[in-house]
Structure 1
Amino acid sequence: MVTSKLRVLILTALTAAICVVGSTIKVPGFITTAALDSAPAFLSVVYLSPIYSGFAALLGHFATALTSGFPLGIFHILIAAEMFAIVTVFNILHKKGFSIVKWLFLVLTNGLISPIPFYFIISPQFYFASLPSLLIATIINVVVVILIMPVLNKILRQWKVLNL
Protein backbone atom coordinates (compact mmCIF):
# COMPACT_ATOMS: atom_id res chain seq x y z
CA MET A 1 0.00 0.00 0.00
CA VAL A 2 1.24 3.47 -0.92
CA THR A 3 1.54 5.83 2.03
CA SER A 4 0.04 9.30 1.89
CA LYS A 5 3.47 11.00 1.79
CA LEU A 6 4.66 8.74 -1.00
CA ARG A 7 1.44 9.42 -2.95
CA VAL A 8 2.05 13.18 -2.66
CA LEU A 9 5.65 12.80 -3.85
CA ILE A 10 4.55 10.64 -6.78
CA LEU A 11 1.84 13.13 -7.79
CA THR A 12 4.33 15.99 -7.52
CA ALA A 13 6.86 14.14 -9.67
CA LEU A 14 4.20 13.27 -12.26
CA THR A 15 3.04 16.90 -12.34
CA ALA A 16 6.60 18.13 -12.79
CA ALA A 17 7.08 15.58 -15.61
CA ILE A 18 3.98 16.88 -17.38
CA CYS A 19 5.32 20.43 -16.89
CA VAL A 20 8.47 19.29 -18.71
CA VAL A 21 6.33 18.08 -21.62
CA GLY A 22 4.55 21.46 -21.66
CA SER A 23 7.91 23.22 -21.63
CA THR A 24 8.54 21.96 -25.15
CA ILE A 25 5.46 23.80 -26.45
CA LYS A 26 6.75 27.35 -26.88
CA VAL A 27 4.80 30.55 -27.38
CA PRO A 28 6.71 32.57 -29.96
CA GLY A 29 8.06 35.84 -28.72
CA PHE A 30 10.80 38.36 -29.23
CA ILE A 31 12.79 37.69 -26.06
CA THR A 32 10.91 35.43 -23.66
CA THR A 33 10.94 31.71 -22.94
CA ALA A 34 7.17 31.50 -22.56
CA ALA A 35 5.76 27.98 -22.89
CA LEU A 36 2.89 25.80 -21.76
CA ASP A 37 4.79 24.43 -18.76
CA SER A 38 2.55 26.16 -16.21
CA ALA A 39 -0.80 24.52 -16.93
CA PRO A 40 0.02 21.21 -15.19
CA ALA A 41 1.28 23.08 -12.11
CA PHE A 42 -1.86 25.25 -12.11
CA LEU A 43 -3.98 22.08 -12.39
CA SER A 44 -2.14 20.48 -9.50
CA VAL A 45 -3.95 22.77 -7.07
CA VAL A 46 -6.79 20.25 -7.29
CA TYR A 47 -4.74 17.42 -5.76
CA LEU A 48 -1.58 18.87 -4.19
CA SER A 49 -0.87 21.16 -1.26
CA PRO A 50 0.42 24.67 -2.03
CA ILE A 51 4.11 23.90 -1.46
CA TYR A 52 4.09 20.84 -3.72
CA SER A 53 2.22 22.69 -6.49
CA GLY A 54 4.75 25.48 -6.24
CA PHE A 55 7.64 23.05 -6.42
CA ALA A 56 6.17 21.44 -9.57
CA ALA A 57 5.94 24.93 -11.14
CA LEU A 58 9.53 25.69 -10.19
CA LEU A 59 10.73 22.51 -11.87
CA GLY A 60 8.52 23.23 -14.88
CA HIS A 61 10.14 26.61 -15.37
CA PHE A 62 13.64 25.15 -15.17
CA ALA A 63 12.62 22.68 -17.90
CA THR A 64 11.43 25.58 -20.07
CA ALA A 65 14.66 27.46 -19.46
CA LEU A 66 16.67 24.34 -20.29
CA THR A 67 14.79 23.64 -23.52
CA SER A 68 15.22 27.31 -24.51
CA GLY A 69 18.97 27.37 -23.90
CA PHE A 70 18.85 29.49 -20.72
CA PRO A 71 18.72 32.81 -22.60
CA LEU A 72 18.46 34.78 -19.36
CA GLY A 73 21.17 32.83 -17.60
CA ILE A 74 21.10 32.92 -13.82
CA PHE A 75 17.96 35.06 -13.87
CA HIS A 76 15.98 31.87 -14.46
CA ILE A 77 16.45 31.19 -10.74
CA LEU A 78 14.45 34.36 -10.06
CA ILE A 79 11.75 33.35 -12.54
CA ALA A 80 11.53 29.85 -11.04
CA ALA A 81 11.17 31.38 -7.56
CA GLU A 82 8.42 33.64 -8.88
CA MET A 83 6.63 30.63 -10.38
CA PHE A 84 6.91 28.82 -7.06
CA ALA A 85 5.36 31.80 -5.25
CA ILE A 86 2.62 32.41 -7.83
CA VAL A 87 1.46 28.80 -7.93
CA THR A 88 1.67 28.45 -4.14
CA VAL A 89 -0.57 31.49 -3.64
CA PHE A 90 -2.87 30.36 -6.47
CA ASN A 91 -3.24 27.01 -4.68
CA ILE A 92 -4.10 28.75 -1.41
CA LEU A 93 -6.69 30.93 -3.16
CA HIS A 94 -8.15 27.82 -4.82
CA LYS A 95 -8.36 25.88 -1.57
CA LYS A 96 -10.03 28.85 0.18
CA GLY A 97 -12.67 29.06 -2.56
CA PHE A 98 -11.72 32.36 -4.21
CA SER A 99 -13.05 31.25 -7.57
CA ILE A 100 -12.73 34.52 -9.53
CA VAL A 101 -9.93 36.16 -7.56
CA LYS A 102 -7.59 33.19 -8.12
CA TRP A 103 -7.84 33.53 -11.92
CA LEU A 104 -7.32 37.30 -11.85
CA PHE A 105 -4.34 36.79 -9.52
CA LEU A 106 -2.87 34.20 -11.88
CA VAL A 107 -3.16 36.31 -15.04
CA LEU A 108 -1.95 39.52 -13.40
CA THR A 109 0.98 38.04 -11.49
CA ASN A 110 2.20 35.57 -14.10
CA GLY A 111 1.45 37.68 -17.16
CA LEU A 112 2.25 41.23 -16.03
CA ILE A 113 3.86 41.48 -12.60
CA SER A 114 6.41 38.64 -12.63
CA PRO A 115 8.60 40.24 -15.35
CA ILE A 116 8.78 43.60 -13.50
CA PRO A 117 12.22 42.84 -11.96
CA PHE A 118 13.60 42.69 -15.50
CA TYR A 119 12.41 46.25 -16.08
CA PHE A 120 15.12 47.26 -13.62
CA ILE A 121 17.65 44.43 -14.05
CA ILE A 122 17.84 44.49 -17.86
CA SER A 123 15.82 47.39 -19.30
CA PRO A 124 12.32 48.83 -19.70
CA GLN A 125 12.47 47.80 -23.37
CA PHE A 126 13.07 44.18 -22.38
CA TYR A 127 10.10 44.26 -20.00
CA PHE A 128 7.73 45.65 -22.63
CA ALA A 129 9.07 43.36 -25.36
CA SER A 130 8.50 40.29 -23.18
CA LEU A 131 4.94 41.17 -22.17
CA PRO A 132 2.98 40.09 -25.28
CA SER A 133 4.26 36.51 -25.47
CA LEU A 134 4.25 36.10 -21.70
CA LEU A 135 0.69 37.35 -21.41
CA ILE A 136 -0.46 35.18 -24.32
CA ALA A 137 1.22 32.10 -22.80
CA THR A 138 -0.36 32.87 -19.42
CA ILE A 139 -3.82 33.19 -20.96
CA ILE A 140 -3.40 29.96 -22.93
CA ASN A 141 -2.26 28.13 -19.77
CA VAL A 142 -5.19 29.56 -17.78
CA VAL A 143 -7.78 28.70 -20.44
CA VAL A 144 -6.46 25.12 -20.60
CA VAL A 145 -6.73 24.86 -16.80
CA ILE A 146 -10.22 26.41 -16.67
CA LEU A 147 -11.42 23.83 -19.20
CA ILE A 148 -9.71 20.79 -17.64
CA MET A 149 -9.99 21.56 -13.91
CA PRO A 150 -13.68 20.61 -13.42
CA VAL A 151 -13.20 17.31 -15.26
CA LEU A 152 -9.98 16.51 -13.38
CA ASN A 153 -11.62 17.37 -10.07
CA LYS A 154 -14.52 15.00 -10.80
CA ILE A 155 -12.23 12.15 -11.94
CA LEU A 156 -9.92 12.46 -8.94
CA ARG A 157 -12.86 12.44 -6.55
CA GLN A 158 -14.22 9.29 -8.18
CA TRP A 159 -10.80 7.62 -7.93
CA LYS A 160 -10.46 8.86 -4.33
CA VAL A 161 -7.11 10.48 -5.13
CA LEU A 162 -8.21 13.70 -3.42
CA ASN A 163 -8.33 12.02 -0.02
CA LEU A 164 -4.62 12.64 0.62
Structure 2
Amino acid sequence: MKSKKMAFISLLVALTAIGAAIKIPSNIGSVALDAFPALLAAALLGSQAGAIVGGMGHLLSALLGGMPLGPLHFVVAIEMAFLAVVFALLYRNGKKWQAGLLFVLGNTFAAPLPFLFLMGKAFYLSIVPSLFVGSVINTIIALVIIPRLSSVVELMISKKKASR
Protein backbone atom coordinates (compact mmCIF):
# COMPACT_ATOMS: atom_id res chain seq x y z
CA MET A 1 0.00 0.00 0.00
CA LYS A 2 1.37 3.40 -0.92
CA SER A 3 2.21 5.81 1.84
CA LYS A 4 -0.25 8.43 0.48
CA LYS A 5 -3.04 5.87 0.52
CA MET A 6 -2.11 4.80 4.05
CA ALA A 7 -2.10 8.43 5.17
CA PHE A 8 -5.56 8.98 3.68
CA ILE A 9 -6.85 5.81 5.39
CA SER A 10 -5.42 7.09 8.68
CA LEU A 11 -7.09 10.45 8.12
CA LEU A 12 -10.44 8.74 7.54
CA VAL A 13 -10.03 6.60 10.68
CA ALA A 14 -9.31 9.80 12.60
CA LEU A 15 -12.40 11.37 11.03
CA THR A 16 -14.46 8.67 12.72
CA ALA A 17 -13.41 10.19 16.04
CA ILE A 18 -15.05 13.45 15.00
CA GLY A 19 -18.15 11.56 13.84
CA ALA A 20 -18.15 9.65 17.11
CA ALA A 21 -18.62 12.93 18.96
CA ILE A 22 -21.85 13.56 17.05
CA LYS A 23 -24.33 11.17 18.66
CA ILE A 24 -27.78 10.12 17.51
CA PRO A 25 -30.05 9.87 20.57
CA SER A 26 -30.35 6.22 21.52
CA ASN A 27 -31.10 3.99 24.46
CA ILE A 28 -27.64 2.50 24.00
CA GLY A 29 -25.65 5.70 23.41
CA SER A 30 -23.30 4.30 20.79
CA VAL A 31 -25.00 5.35 17.54
CA ALA A 32 -22.99 8.15 15.95
CA LEU A 33 -21.94 9.70 12.66
CA ASP A 34 -18.85 7.54 12.48
CA ALA A 35 -19.68 5.31 9.49
CA PHE A 36 -19.45 7.79 6.62
CA PRO A 37 -15.60 7.80 6.60
CA ALA A 38 -15.71 4.03 5.97
CA LEU A 39 -18.08 4.58 3.06
CA LEU A 40 -15.76 7.28 1.71
CA ALA A 41 -12.79 4.91 1.95
CA ALA A 42 -14.75 2.09 0.34
CA ALA A 43 -15.88 4.18 -2.63
CA LEU A 44 -12.69 6.17 -3.15
CA LEU A 45 -9.96 3.68 -2.20
CA GLY A 46 -11.57 0.25 -2.52
CA SER A 47 -12.98 -2.51 -0.39
CA GLN A 48 -9.83 -3.21 1.61
CA ALA A 49 -9.50 0.43 2.69
CA GLY A 50 -13.23 0.58 3.46
CA ALA A 51 -12.96 -2.51 5.65
CA ILE A 52 -9.98 -1.09 7.53
CA VAL A 53 -11.67 2.26 8.15
CA GLY A 54 -15.00 0.59 8.98
CA GLY A 55 -13.56 -1.82 11.52
CA MET A 56 -10.96 0.42 13.11
CA GLY A 57 -13.24 3.43 12.97
CA HIS A 58 -16.00 1.62 14.84
CA LEU A 59 -13.58 0.48 17.54
CA LEU A 60 -12.27 4.03 17.92
CA SER A 61 -15.80 5.40 18.09
CA ALA A 62 -16.82 2.75 20.64
CA LEU A 63 -13.76 3.47 22.74
CA LEU A 64 -14.54 7.18 22.77
CA GLY A 65 -18.16 6.38 23.64
CA GLY A 66 -17.18 4.32 26.68
CA MET A 67 -17.57 0.85 25.10
CA PRO A 68 -21.20 0.37 26.24
CA LEU A 69 -21.37 -3.09 24.63
CA GLY A 70 -17.95 -4.17 25.91
CA PRO A 71 -16.16 -6.81 23.84
CA LEU A 72 -19.24 -7.18 21.61
CA HIS A 73 -17.97 -4.10 19.80
CA PHE A 74 -15.46 -6.39 18.07
CA VAL A 75 -18.41 -8.18 16.47
CA VAL A 76 -19.79 -4.83 15.32
CA ALA A 77 -16.36 -3.85 13.94
CA ILE A 78 -16.31 -7.00 11.80
CA GLU A 79 -19.84 -6.24 10.62
CA MET A 80 -18.85 -2.67 9.72
CA ALA A 81 -15.86 -3.95 7.78
CA PHE A 82 -18.11 -6.36 5.88
CA LEU A 83 -20.71 -3.67 5.13
CA ALA A 84 -17.95 -1.38 3.83
CA VAL A 85 -16.72 -4.14 1.49
CA VAL A 86 -20.23 -4.71 0.13
CA PHE A 87 -20.70 -0.96 -0.27
CA ALA A 88 -17.41 -0.73 -2.20
CA LEU A 89 -18.31 -3.58 -4.53
CA LEU A 90 -21.66 -2.05 -5.43
CA TYR A 91 -20.60 1.60 -5.52
CA ARG A 92 -17.50 0.99 -7.63
CA ASN A 93 -19.64 -0.98 -10.12
CA GLY A 94 -21.91 2.01 -10.68
CA LYS A 95 -24.70 0.91 -8.35
CA LYS A 96 -24.46 3.91 -6.05
CA TRP A 97 -28.01 4.06 -4.72
CA GLN A 98 -28.16 0.30 -4.28
CA ALA A 99 -24.91 0.48 -2.30
CA GLY A 100 -26.38 3.15 -0.04
CA LEU A 101 -29.66 1.31 0.41
CA LEU A 102 -27.95 -1.99 1.20
CA PHE A 103 -25.68 -0.25 3.73
CA VAL A 104 -28.68 1.33 5.47
CA LEU A 105 -30.63 -1.93 5.58
CA GLY A 106 -27.61 -3.99 6.59
CA ASN A 107 -26.50 -1.60 9.32
CA THR A 108 -30.04 -1.09 10.62
CA PHE A 109 -31.51 -4.59 10.59
CA ALA A 110 -28.80 -7.21 9.91
CA ALA A 111 -25.89 -5.86 11.97
CA PRO A 112 -27.77 -5.89 15.29
CA LEU A 113 -29.16 -9.42 14.72
CA PRO A 114 -26.49 -11.13 16.89
CA PHE A 115 -27.67 -8.93 19.75
CA LEU A 116 -31.21 -10.18 19.28
CA PHE A 117 -29.98 -13.60 20.39
CA LEU A 118 -27.44 -12.36 22.94
CA MET A 119 -29.39 -9.54 24.61
CA GLY A 120 -32.98 -10.15 23.65
CA LYS A 121 -35.79 -8.69 21.59
CA ALA A 122 -36.13 -5.53 23.71
CA PHE A 123 -32.52 -4.52 23.03
CA TYR A 124 -32.87 -5.18 19.30
CA LEU A 125 -36.11 -3.21 19.04
CA SER A 126 -34.70 -0.31 21.04
CA ILE A 127 -31.55 0.05 18.93
CA VAL A 128 -33.10 -0.32 15.44
CA PRO A 129 -34.77 3.14 15.19
CA SER A 130 -31.62 5.07 16.13
CA LEU A 131 -29.48 2.80 13.92
CA PHE A 132 -31.81 3.58 11.04
CA VAL A 133 -31.53 7.33 11.54
CA GLY A 134 -27.75 7.12 11.98
CA SER A 135 -27.35 4.88 8.93
CA VAL A 136 -29.42 7.16 6.72
CA ILE A 137 -27.51 10.27 7.81
CA ASN A 138 -24.10 8.58 7.42
CA THR A 139 -25.06 7.28 3.98
CA ILE A 140 -26.40 10.64 2.76
CA ILE A 141 -23.24 12.41 3.92
CA ALA A 142 -21.10 9.84 2.11
CA LEU A 143 -23.13 9.91 -1.11
CA VAL A 144 -22.93 13.71 -1.20
CA ILE A 145 -19.20 13.93 -0.43
CA ILE A 146 -17.85 11.02 -2.53
CA PRO A 147 -18.34 12.63 -5.97
CA ARG A 148 -16.80 15.87 -4.74
CA LEU A 149 -13.70 14.12 -3.36
CA SER A 150 -13.13 11.53 -6.08
CA SER A 151 -11.01 13.71 -8.37
CA VAL A 152 -9.03 15.14 -5.45
CA VAL A 153 -8.28 11.69 -4.05
CA GLU A 154 -7.38 10.38 -7.49
CA LEU A 155 -4.86 13.21 -7.96
CA MET A 156 -3.51 12.82 -4.46
CA ILE A 157 -2.94 9.09 -4.66
CA SER A 158 -1.93 8.70 -8.30
CA LYS A 159 1.70 8.52 -9.28
CA LYS A 160 1.20 11.24 -11.85
CA LYS A 161 1.93 14.74 -10.70
CA ALA A 162 -0.70 17.34 -11.35
CA SER A 163 0.21 19.63 -14.20
CA ARG A 164 0.77 23.22 -13.22
TM-score (normalised: structure 2):
0.90
Cα RMSD over matched residues? 1.6
Deviation at 1:104? 1.4
Residues 42, 51 of structure 2: 8 Å contact kept? no
Q: Secondary structure at the match of 1:97?
A: coil
Residue of structure 1 equivalent to 2:55:
58
Give, as a single letter, the amino acid of the residue that structure 2 aligns with 1:66: L
Correspondence 1:145 to 2:123: no
Distance 1:129 1:96 in 2: 35
Distance 1:32 1:77 in 2: 17
Give, as a single letter, the amino acid of the residue that structure 1 aligns with 2:156: V
Deviation at 1:87? 0.4
Higher mean alpha-carbon deviation, 59-68 vs 43-52, is at 43-52
Higher mean alpha-carbon deviation, 93-102 vs 81-90, is at 93-102
Residue 16 (structure 1) aligned to one of 4, 13, 34: 13
Correspondence 1:25 to 2:1: no
Runs of 4+ in 1 over 2 A off after TM superposition: 154-157, 161-164
Residue of structure 2 equivalent to 1:70:
67
Identity, % of aligned positions: 31
Higher mean alpha-carbon deviation, 78-87 vs 102-111, is at 102-111
Deviation at 1:155? 3.3
Q: Which runs of 5+ in 2 are unaligned?
A: 160-164
Q: Which runs of 5+ in 1 are unaligned?
A: none
Deviation at 1:81? 0.5
Q: Secondary structure at the match of 2:24?
A: coil
Distance 1:113 1:162 in 2: 34
**Distance change (3 Å), C-alpha of 1:162 and 1:101:** farther
Correspondence 1:44 to 2:41: yes
Residues 29, 65 of structure 2: 8 Å contact kept? no
Give, as a single letter, the amino acid of the residue that structure 2 aligns with 1:139: V
Residue of structure 1 equivalent to 2:156:
161
The number of equivalent residue pairs is: 159
